[in-house]
Amino acid sequence: MSASSPVAEVPLRDAATVMLVRDGETGLEVFMLRRNLRSDFVGGAYVFPGGGVDDHDRHEDLGRVCAGRDDADASSQLDVERGGLAFWVAAVRESFEEAGVLLAYDRSGGIVRLDDDAVAERFGVHRRSVDRGERRLVEVCAEEGLRLAVDRIFYFSHWITPEGAPRRYDTRFFVARAPEAQEPLHDDREVIANLWIRPEEALARHEAGEYEMVFPTVRSLETLRRFERADDVVEAARAIDRVPAILPRIVEDASGYRILLPGDDGYADAVPAVLPEGVPMNRIDMTSGAGRAP
C-alpha cells in the first residue's frame, strides 16, 4: 500500500502510562515490562506500565479516593475541560494490574507496604479482581481505607498514535518514584517479563535489536538518561508548566516505513501512510531528526 493511500479514520482512545523510577546501585533505573507476543498492539515490545482509561476510572466521586489533587487541577494540567483526574487513576490502576505496584496511602497515611506475606496475599487477590474487571479500584480503596497517591505522580509528556496505525491512543505519560516495600511483578498475561534497567542500557539494547520499542518509549528513555537520580526526574516533571501534544506521522518511502516528528523535514507536507497488516508499530524505522536527544 502506497504512502498516498487514504487513511481510514481510527478513533482515538484515552490512555495513561506511568514511568516508575528508582535509584539503583549504578544510577537511575526505570521499570519496564515486555508485552505478550500475541498482543494485538505492539506485541513483544518493551513498555512502561499503562493502558486505556476505562469507564471505571471515570468514577463520579474520584476526589474522595485521591490524595492531593482534584479533578479541576488534573484537568487544567492536561488542558481538558473535565475528567482529567481519571488519567491519574488509570495510571495507578494499570501499574497495579500489570506490575503489582500500588501507588496509594493506607489508613496510617503512609504508602502501602506489601512486604508482609498476609498483606501481599490480600492485595494479590485485589489485583486479580481489578484486572479481571470484577471490582473497581475505588471499591478496593473503600474496603482497605486507601487514598490513591496521585500527588506523587507527575505529568511528563503527551503522545498521540500516528494516523495509519491499526489502533490509536491519546496517551498521557506520567512519572513517579517507585514505592518502597513493594516488589513489582508482571501479570504474566498482558505482559510476560519485567525488569529494572538504566535508561541508557535499555536504549543500547534497543539499538542492538534486542528490545523492540515504540517511538514514545524510546524518546522517554532518551529524556530519562539525562538524570542521575529518581528525585531529579520527579522534580523536573513537577516543574513542567506546559506539556505539548506530539503527533508523529508514519510515511513510506523507498526504504520502507518510518516516523516523522513535528519539525522534521517533510513533516508538514507528509501524507500519512497506512501500516499494512503484519507491520506493527514497534518494528518501523524510528530515526527522526527533530528534537532527538543527544
Lowest mean pLDDT among 89-93, 184-188, 244-248: 184-188
What is the secondary structure of the chain as a DSSP string? --TTSPPP---EEEEEEEEEEEEETTEEEEEEEEE-TT-TTTTT-EE-SEEE--GGGG-TTGGGGBSS--HHHHHHHHT-SS-THHHHHHHHHHHHHHH----EE-TTSSBP---SHHHHHHHHHHHHHHHTTSS-HHHHHHHHT-EE-GGGEEEEEEEEPPTTSSSEEEEEEEEEEPPTT------SSSEEEEEEE-HHHHHHHHHTTSS---HHHHHHHHHHTT-SSHHHHHHHHHT-----EE--EEEEETTEEEEE-TTSTTTTTPPPPPPPTT--GGGSB----TT---
Tens of pLDDT along 191-249?
A: 888 999 999 999 999 999 999 998 999 999 999 999 999 999 999 999 999 999 999 99
Is pLDDT above 80 for 120?
yes
Percent of the chain with pLDDT over 90: 71
Query: Can you tell me the distance from the alpha carbon of 278 to that of 71, in angstroms, rounded to the nearest whole number?
Result: 40
Residue 172 has which C-alpha cell?
498521557
**Which domains does the chain possess?**
12-245 (3.90.79.10)
Is the pLDDT higher at 118 or at 164? 118
Is the pLDDT higher at 81 or at 42? 81
Q: If pLDDT is split at 50, 70 and 90, which confidence band does 60 have?
A: confident
Looking at residue 230, what is its pLDDT?
98
Q: If pLDDT is split at 50, 70 and 90, which confidence band does 40 have?
A: low
Looking at residue 144, what is its pLDDT?
97
pTM for the structure as a whole: 0.90
Tens of pLDDT along 134-181?
A: 999 999 999 999 999 999 999 999 999 999 888 899 999 999 999 999
Is pLDDT above 70 for 2?
no
Averaged pLDDT for residues 258-276? 87
